[in-house]
């Protein structure tokens, strides 16, 4: 009788729990056989009379599926490599697309009338970059009283200087006009997209320019040797120098003439879009930094033979971009260093590293790069793409006893003329072993 009472109590308790679970199950779940809202309260009576938690329906369905469709990872008949591949398929792995480069809008520098706009990391992300794309854009209004003349490289002179610094050291020092020649004519053999303003009276006339700032070294045996590992530096900063504008004068866009109402309905901006490398193998590699630095000399109405212009030393020099121009307004010229004028790169007062003439140099540039450089520009390329673009051909002025480096140039007498040397150099990046 005592055993019968115990069994009766157990059965009665199980019935109560079942009825309670049924009552709190939603009508929809009962109609469609769905899981209970309280599946953990369902019990089953086993043969011995003991109670056991009943597994939720979702768990039972999952376990049944796994038992009937066991993944290959559990198949001992497969090789370890095949089992691990199956295991990754079950767990999921990062998509290979995450290891491919991505394009990223980093920052947009605002216009500062006649001043400098600056941005610092973290607004400039620290990552691995092969190049940046710089996009200049805005709109310009003016009322023309007497026609002036447009700048030949417009609208790029609106940004008269650009600097990229890492931990306070200047890696890139250049303006957009020279950057256009280095990146597009020399690096890619084709000009870039420029939309300049026009003469006349206009309202909100759009202008734009797209210029690439390369970190990689194009036309070399290994372009990716100079990716920029910005993530190895504490702070990255970018500075842009903007041209001035007033109601009657905007010399960075229009020269001379008579105008009123000059303004920017849409203020100019310089947007930075980066190509970013995410591949972990590439991010751990060792790199050199490709740098730009400028030396500008005033050669005002002075005719000279083999005039000496001192250049910086201490790094590996890939090449030297020579430019000649007037600066009020900025206009490239070909009269300061005339067609057959001599150009010599001399080290330590006696070693003549490179000898040429202006005509020979610009003709070699066209043969090497497949496009004529704009008027007033010529590039001395020590790595010489016609000879394979070898890094060992670059001019190493670090520890080779080069204490003095000069450019000897024949110049004519031209008023308000400038001669500029933009050096493309290399130095090891941070954490380079």
**pLDDT reported for residue 386:** 87
**pLDDT reported for residue 30:** 42
Return d(Cα 214, Cα 182) in angstroms, integer.
9
Return d(Cα 345, Cα 408) in angstroms, integer.
6
Mean pLDDT of 138-148: 97
| pLDDT tens per residue across span 334-357 | 999 999 999 999 999 999 999 999
Res. 83 pLDDT band, cuts 50 70 90: low
**pLDDT reported for residue 262:** 97
**pLDDT reported for residue 36:** 42
The CATH H-level (homologous superfamily) assignment of domain 96-285 is Viral coat protein p3 (2.70.9.30)
**pLDDT reported for residue 31:** 44
**pLDDT reported for residue 431:** 84
H or E stretch covering 64: helix 57-68
CATH dotted code for 288-433: 2.60.120.20
What is 48-110 written as a DSSP string? TS-EEEPPPHHHHHHHHHHHHS--GGG-TTS-HHHHHHHHHHHH----GGGGS-EEEEEEEEE
- pTM value is 0.78
Mean pLDDT of 76-105: 68
H or E stretch covering 322: strand 316-327
Res. 58 pLDDT band, cuts 50 70 90: low
Res. 45 pLDDT band, cuts 50 70 90: very low
Q: Which residue has the tokens 């050291």?
A: 169
**pLDDT reported for residue 39:** 40
Res. 182: pLDDT tops 60: yes
Mean pLDDT of 193-199: 96
Res. 143: pLDDT tops 70: yes
- Give me the chain's average pLDDT, please: 86
Task: Give the percent of the chain with pLDDT over 70.
Answer: 78
User: How many CA atoms, within 13 angstroms, populate the side-chain half-sphere of residue 300?
Assistant: 4
Return d(Cα 117, Cα 115) in angstroms, integer.
7
| pLDDT tens per residue across span 286-324 | 999 999 999 999 999 989 999 999 999 999 999 999 999
Q: For the chain, give every domain's residue range.
A: 2-91, 96-285, 288-433
Mean pLDDT of 247-266: 95
Return d(Cα 270, Cα 122) in angstroms, integer.
18
Res. 77 pLDDT band, cuts 50 70 90: confident
Res. 167: pLDDT tops 90: yes
Q: What is the 3-state secondary structure (H, E, C) of 357-404?
A: EHHHHHHHHHHHHCCCCCCCEEEEECCCHHHCCCHHHCEECCCCCCCC
Inter-residue contact 111 to 267 (CB < 8 Å): yes
């Amino acid at each position: 009788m005592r055993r019968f009472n115990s069994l009766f109590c157990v059965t009665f308790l199980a019935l109560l729990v079942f009825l309670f679970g049924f009552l709190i199950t939603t009508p929809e779940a009962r109609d469609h056989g769905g899981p209970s809202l309280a599946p953990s309260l369902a019990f089953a009576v086993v043969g011995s009379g003991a109670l056991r938690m009943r597994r939720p329906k979702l768990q039972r369905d999952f376990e049944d599926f796994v038992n009937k469709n066991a993944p290959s990872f559990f198949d001992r008949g497969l090789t370890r490599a095949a089992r691990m591949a199956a295991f990754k398929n079950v767990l999921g792995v990062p998509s290979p697309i995450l290891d491919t480069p991505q394009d990223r809008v980093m920052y947009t520098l605002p216009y500062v009338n006649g001043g400098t706009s600056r941005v610092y990391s973290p607004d400039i992300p620290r990552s691995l970059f092969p190049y940046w794309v710089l996009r200049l854009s805005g709109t310009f209004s003016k009322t023309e009283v007497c026609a002036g003349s447009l700048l030949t490289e417009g609208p790029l002179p609106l940004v008269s200087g650009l600097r990229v610094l890492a931990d306070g050291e200047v890696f890139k020092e250049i303006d957009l006009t020279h950057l256009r020649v280095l990146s597009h004519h020399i690096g890619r053999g084709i000009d870039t997209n420029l939309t300049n303003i026009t003469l006349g009276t206009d309202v909100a006339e759009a202008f734009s320019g797209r210029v690439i700032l390369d970190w990689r070294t194009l036309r070399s045996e290994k372009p990716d040797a100079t990716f920029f590992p910005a993530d190895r530096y504490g702070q990255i900063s970018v500075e842009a120098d903007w041209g001035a504008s007033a109601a009657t004068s905007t010399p960075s866009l229009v020269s001379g003439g008579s105008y009123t109402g000059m303004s920017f309905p849409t203020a100019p901006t310089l947007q930075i879009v980066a190509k970013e490398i995410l591949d972990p193998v590439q991010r751990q590699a060792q790199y050199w930094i490709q740098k730009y630095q400028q030396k500008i000399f005033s050669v005002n109405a002075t005719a000279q033979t083999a005039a000496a212009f001192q250049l910086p030393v201490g790094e590996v020099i890939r090449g030297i971009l020579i430019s000649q121009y007037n600066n009020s307004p900025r206009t490239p010229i070909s009269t300061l260093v005339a067609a057959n004028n001599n150009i010599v790169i001399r080290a330590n007062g006696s070693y003549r590293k490179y000898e040429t003439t202006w005509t020979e140099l610009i003709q070699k540039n066209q043969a090497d790069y497949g496009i004529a450089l704009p008027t007033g520009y010529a590039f001395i390329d020590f790595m010489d793409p016609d000879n394979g673009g070898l890094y060992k051909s670059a001019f190493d002025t670090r520890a080779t006893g080069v204490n003095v480096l000069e450019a000897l140039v024949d110049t004519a007498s031209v008023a308000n003329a400038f001669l500029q040397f933009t050096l493309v150099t290399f130095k090891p990046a941070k954490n380079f072993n």
